[in-house]
Amino acid sequence: MTTQGEPDQTAAGHDGETPAEPRRLGPGRRRTALWCALVVAAAGIGWVVSRPNPGDLIPGLGSTSGQSKKSQPAPGLASEQPLTEAQAFTADHYFPGQRAVDQNGVQAHRTASHEGGDCAEVLLDREKNPLKDTGCQAYVSVGFTHADQQVVTSVTVLRFADEQSAQKARQALTDPSVLAFITAESDAPSPTASPSPSVTAGTTASPGAPTSGAPAGPTPPPTATTPPPKPADVTRVEPVGHYLTVTVSRYTDRRTTVAPGDLTLDKAARALSYAARAPFLWM
């Protein structure tokens, strides 16, 4: 019982219960508050780092005010900016020297390259220019030496504005031997011998026709009165999209004849022709 004037402790404790404690934040609310604090801190750090000169705001980084202009790439050359088709049309982009070709059992590596915007540079005789009115925009010529060291292949890729122009050039290029053959001895087009009869007009793939009735072997050196003999080769001319690829394979010793049934050059030309067309198949 209580005396008169004393507070009723039972009422204060809600009928015998202990007095209510102050409310505290539950685990969920504390976690939410912590995440909010972290987000605010991260936003602040991101803002500082994104400034042109973060070293001026964060102790220990040093001043970067004088370095900002040097660290910015030149206009139009930013590393994150993708290359245009014209800029990517280079030997190093499509035929990097460190990447060997391994196609259908044929292995070869790049040993020479040449490129430019004047397609007449790939011709042996500029006065006889079958590409003159075809709209050829640029070329890439690459020389390959095969793993067996017995075969070399020259690949020339011509770029046009559209497929119609590439097809027009295919019809005009009835004798692909007018194009220079890229060799490992020179990083520029080197002249070949007289036009090869191994290519026929109007065909997409024209394997060479080796001379029959003569044994295969190294080519004898030319004399003062005779021109250099024409090496036996196999040539394939393949349009792909608005590109035209010309692939020529021959023996390293420049032999003029091939033994009957010898498909080495044909196999090499097929493999390198496909490797040259593969980058443009889905463009």
Per-residue three-class SS string for the chain: CCCCCCCCHHHHCCCCCCCCCCCCCCHHHHHHHHHHHHHHHHHHHHHHHCCCCHHHCCCCCCCCCCCHHHHCCCCCCCCCCCCCHHHHCCHHHHCCCCCCEEECCEEEEEEEEEEECCHHHHECCCCCCCCCCCCCCEEEEEEEEECCCCEEEEEEEEECCCHHHHHHHHHHCCCHHHECECCCCCCCCECCCCCCCCCCCCCCEECCCCCCCCCCCCCCCCCCCCCCCCCCEEEEEEEECCEEEEEEEEECCCCCCCCCCCCHHHHHHHHHHHHHHHHHCCC
Q: Check residue 281 and give its pLDDT.
A: 85
Confidence of residue 201 (pLDDT cuts 50, 70, 90): very low
pLDDT computed for residue 245 by the predictor: 97
Work out the pLDDT band at 62, boundaries 50, 70, 90: very low
Portion of the chain with pLDDT greater than 70, in percent: 60
pLDDT in tens, 226-261: 667 889 999 999 999 999 999 999 999 999 999 999
Give the closest residue to 135 by CA, choosing from 164, 176, 177.
164
Q: What is the structure's pLDDT at 225?
A: 65
pLDDT band at 213 (very low <50, low <70, confident <90, very high): very low
- Domain ranges across the chain: 28-63, 85-210+228-280
Q: Is the pLDDT of residue 171 over 60?
A: yes
Lowest mean pLDDT among 42-56, 113-127, 176-190: 42-56
CATH domain 85-210+228-280 topology: Protein Transport Mog1p; Chain A (3.40.1000)
